Each structure stands twice: as C-alpha cells, then as structure tokens.
Amino acid sequence: MMSEAILSALPDRPATKPRPRLPPGLRRLVSPVVILLLWQAASDLGLISSRLVAPPSAIARSFVELVASGELQHNLLVSLARVGAGLGIAVVAGTALALVAGLSRRGEEIVDAPLQMVRTMPHLALVPLFILWFGIGETPKIALVALGSAFPIYLNLFAGIRGVDPRLVEAATVLGLSRGELIRHVILPGALPSALVGLRYALGVAWLSLVVGEQINATAGIGFMMMDAREFLRTDIIIVGLLVYAVLGLAADQLVRWVERRALSWRPVLLRGTA
Amino acid sequence: MICCDGLVDHALLLDAGTGADAMNAVTPAIARQHAAGVRIRGLTRRFGGPAVLDRLDLDIRPGEFLALLGRSGSGKTTLLRTLAGLDPVEQGEVAAPARRAVVFQDPRLLPWKRVLRNVTLGLRGADPKGRALAALAEVGLAHRTDAWPLTLSGGEAQRAGLARALVREPELLLLDEPFAALDALTRLRMQAMVADLWQRHRCTVLLVTHDVDEAVLLADRAVVLEAGRIATEVAIPLERPRRHAGAEFAALRARLLNALGVEEDGHALAA
C-alpha cells in the first residue's frame, strides 16, 4: 500500500493518453519473460556458450525428454524416498529428544548439552566420516538428511515446550489434569506452532543435505542425474535438476503451511483470514 | 518455585510433577475437611523477604461468601493460591475441601480448544458434555460453545472460566479478581450473575478483590489483609438481592475504604 502511494506520488508519469493495461498478476511476469527472451537470444547469437549455460529452449527440450524417458520420475522418486526416510527419522528422533529435554529438568541436563555441542558442527562436514561408517550406499545419504534436519525439529520443539504459558499450565493443574493429560492437552498443542516452524527449517536442511549426499557415489537420484550430466557437459540437464530441487523445496514449504493453517486454525490471525 | 508475583517456574512445575502429582505434592499440607468450610491456622509464607503471610488465622464457614481485600502486596493472592493448592503450605495448618475450583483474573482458557472442550477438560464422571453444556447455559454462553476462546469478548471469556469452575461443583470456589479486567458495565452484569449463581450453588466462596463496592455487593463478610495479617473484619448483613445504594451500603463501604487507608472522598489518609 505504502509503496503504491509513494509510486503514484512520484512525478514520473506525464499525463499521456491511457495505455492498455495488463492485470497485476501478468505484469509481474513481464520482466522474467523478458530475461528468458534475452537469455535465449544471447545463446542463439553465440554470446553465451552452451557449455556454460544451455539456452532455455534446450532446457525445456531436455525436460520433456527426461520426462518422456521416465528418467526424471525415477530419479525424483529415489530422491524423495531419501528425503522421506531421513526426515522421518529426524522427526521421530528430534521429537523424542525434545520431549525428554523439554518435560523434565534432568532430561534437559542429560540431553541438551551434548546436542548443543554437536549442533555447532556443520553436519555436511561429516560426509567423509559417514562414508567410512556407512559405506557408499543409501545409508550415508539418509543419515546425512536425518542428522541435519533433526536439529531444527529438536530446537524448536524444545523451545516451544518451554515457552508454553505457565498460567495455562497452572490453570490445567487446578482443573485436576493428570501429567499425561497436561502434556496432551496443554503442553503439546502449545508447542505446536514452534514445532511446525522447526519442521519448515528441517525441510530446508533436508534438501540441502540431499544435494550434498547425492553427489557422493550415487547411482540414482536428482543429484546423480546432475553429476552424470556434468560428465557430458549437459548444462541443460543440470539446470533441469536445479529447477526440480527448487520446485520440491517450494512444494514442501507449501505443504507445511497448509498443515499449519489446518492445525493452528484457532489463532486469531488465521481466524480473521477465514472470516 | 515461585517468581515475584506468584508465577510458577514452568520447568520446575513440570518436574515437581504436574496435574495429579503436583496436587499430591501440595495437598498433604492441606488437610481434607469434610465440612465444606476453610480453616487456616498460623499460615506463614515468605519468598526470601519479609513474610507475605504472617501467622494468619482465618475461618470461612461452609457456604459463606468471603471477600478478601487488601492493597497490592498484602498477600491476598498468595492466600488464594495456597488454598488452590498452587503454593505449598510451608508453615501453619490449612484445612480446605478437596473439591476446589479457581477463576483467575485472566480467563486462562486453552486457545486451541473450543469453549465446550475447555469446560469439559479434566472433567470426570458421567456425561461431561451434557454437564458442561448446562454450565455454559447457566452463564449465558449456550450460543458460544463452539467458538474459539480468542474470539470471545472479555466478559464472555470470563463467563466461560466461571462455567469451567462451576461444572466441577466445587465446595470451595476461589475467585481471583475475576472482574478486574472487565469494563464497568460488563463488571456489573458479571457481579449480578455471580450473586445469582452463588445463591443457587451455595458453595463456599473466597473472592479476592480490589473493589470495595464489589465486596459489599457480594460478600457475607469482608476481610482486609495488611502485611500478611488480618487488619479488619467487617460483617455485611445486607439483605439480598443487593443494590449499590442505601445508607447501610454507604456506611459499610466507608468502613472498608477506611481500613484500606482511603477516605470516602478518595484522599489517602496521612500515615
């Protein structure tokens, strides 16, 4: 709103006759389309070597080919399975550890200190060690995803549990809730918003770990497809892989947002949105 | 376990055991009493400084409506929290009925549960839903049972809190400045509702309040707390239903204000 006001206040619009206008949704597409056209033109004129970056037309063509041959779907499924398995392990482990540390002081003393120490290590630096431990099969790739994404889940859920309004805990105690009921009805729902933020972070880390993991001795997966393409200087396929990663990350984020909207429908912001 | 104004350290509360555990940790000191009154002898409580409650003796008869007045820091809330089982009895004796319910100044409804689920939360026995619906109807919230708490007005939220307390059929109802945060008109309506509900349920009530008019309007007896001890005790033998008027009302009001160190025209008395 503010920027609109500022823009219309600027004296850069001479009072000319009204031009035909595009709807706002389409107007936002104008500059990306122009960039794509310039990119294509530069490639056609030989200004950009296809060994460095393939032209958009070639990228589109190889995307269609990869889909037609089933190669993309196959690699996508392999990658999704790795992220799914790693994330599944991370959610279970991160949640369990956060519950232990969040719900009791002794649990915090035992669990939190070592986790905070391990957390400061960039987990991608563990790749050499993981190869020695787990070989070069699926295990090190899944382990890398699991390790990286367990921390955001643990940290956010732990903070969420400790951040539950103590006045609500008190009220529930007066109502005679058992410890189990208190955790189920008060602590966990109260911690859910932070837990979902943690899940979104975890998804981001999971894709990142997957990219790195799939570049070590993989025989399938989007990362493998890209590494394989590098051997043959197929920049078009590499860019298809990048786009797939981007779309996957976006889709995963949308999925968690959708879950948030459903699970946190009691929040006033969301209530106003639906009203 | 307690920070400055009686907020419980969350993590420690979780450790010390919550729900049933915490109640067990606290209640042994509060003897269960069969008659539904309250008996307090020599209750002392300090948070590392001067005593907040200082050898306090207090009886509340079964079915009596007692108003507890006092300036900030006089120990009113600490006394209520002790009776609620939220603060431990470290020194002295407290006997109170086992079935207690609290209405706090802030409604403390769980925002992620609809009004009805907030009322049935932790409710034992047959047909919790039916009883909760009846309690909500009693406080005039039958039309809001499906609402999210954060969409309620202040008065509605406080009525839901009242329904949540009443549905447990408490022998002792503890009201911690329940109307202090409401606007003047809503407060008057809520006071009338509480007077009415008490006439029907006849539970013992302890009302902590800053509002002298509220005490005279609702209570059988008002007690003014000062530095952890009872400074003044005033019986309020007015007939019910009461109105904010009349010479007797004004006289009682003046006595209580006087006990709180405020003259009728609002000036503080010279110390």
CATH number of residue B242's parent domain: 3.40.50.300
Mean pLDDT of chain A: 88
Residue of B nearest to A182 (CA): B19
A117-138 residues labelled b (16+ CB within 10 A) or e (exposed): eeeeeebbebbeebeeeeeeeb
Q: Where are the domains of chain A?
A: 60-263
CB B197 within 8 A of CB B144: no
Structural domain boundaries enclosing B34? 10-99+170-259
Asked if the structure places residue B155 within a domain, the reply is no
pLDDT at A14: 54
**Which among B60, B87, B25 has a CA at the least distance from the CA of B173?**
B60
pLDDT at B13: 43
The mean per-residue pLDDT over the stretch A87-111 comes to 94
Say whether residue B47 is in contact with chain A using an 8 A CB cutoff: no
A148: pLDDT strictly greater than 90: yes
* pLDDT tens digits in sequence order for chain B, 271 residues long: 333 333 334 443 444 444 444 443 344 467 766 558 899 999 999 888 888 999 999 999 999 999 999 988 888 999 999 999 999 998 999 999 989 999 999 999 999 999 999 999 999 989 999 999 999 999 999 999 999 999 999 999 999 999 999 999 999 999 999 998 899 999 999 999 999 999 988 899 999 999 999 999 999 999 999 989 999 999 999 988 888 888 999 999 999 999 888 876 655 554 4
Is A164's CB within 8 Å of B104's CB? no
pLDDT digits (tens, 9 = 90+) for A165-200: 999 999 999 999 999 999 999 999 999 999 999 999
Say whether residue B9 is in contact with chain A using an 8 A CB cutoff: yes
A119: pLDDT strictly greater than 60: yes
CATH number of the domain located at residue range(s) A60-263 in this protein:
1.10.3720.10
CB A97 within 8 A of CB A157: no
Per-residue pLDDT band at A209 (split at 50, 70, 90):
very high
Is A104's CB within 8 Å of B20's CB? no
Chains A–B, number of C-beta pairs less than 8 Å apart: 105
Give CA–CA dist B27/B24, Å, rounded: 5
Say whether residue B36 is in contact with chain A using an 8 A CB cutoff: no
**The sheet that has B91-96: what strands, in order across it?**
B30-32, B91-96, B38-46, B51-60
Asked if the structure places residue B56 within a domain, the reply is yes
A188-205 residues labelled b (16+ CB within 10 A) or e (exposed): bbbbbbbbbbbbbbbbeb
A9: pLDDT strictly greater than 60: no
pLDDT at B14: 47
pLDDT at B3: 34
Is B86's CB within 8 Å of A174's CB? yes
Q: List the single best residue of B108, B115, B117 to mutate versus A (max A Cβ within 10 A).
A: B108
Q: List the single best residue of B1, B3, B14 to mutate versus A (max A Cβ within 10 A).
A: B14
Is B111's CB within 8 Å of A266's CB? yes
Residue of A nearest to B149 (CA): A266
Say whether residue A167 is in contact with chain B using an 8 A CB cutoff: yes
pLDDT at B21: 41
Q: Pick from B8, B86, B122: which is nearest to A181 by CB?
A: B122
Asked if the structure places residue B246 within a domain, the reply is yes
How close is the nearest chain B Cα to the Cα of A38, in Å? 52
Q: List the single best residue of A103, A112, A158, A174 to mutate versus B (max B Cβ within 10 A).
A: A174
* Percent of chain A's residues with pLDDT above 70: 90
A272: pLDDT strictly greater than 60: no
pLDDT at A217: 78
Interface predicted TM-score (ipTM) of this complex, two decimals:
0.82
Q: Pick from B20, B101, B102: which is nearest to A179 by CB?
A: B20
Q: Pick from B22, B85, B108: which is nearest to A168 by CB?
A: B108
Q: Pick from A164, A173, A180: which is nearest to B22 by CB?
A: A173
Is A108's CB within 8 Å of B101's CB? no
| DSSP code, position B182 | S
Per-residue pLDDT band at A5 (split at 50, 70, 90):
low
What is the domain count for chain B? Answer: 1
Q: Which residues pair with B201 in a beta bridge?
A: none
Asked if the structure places residue B209 within a domain, the reply is yes
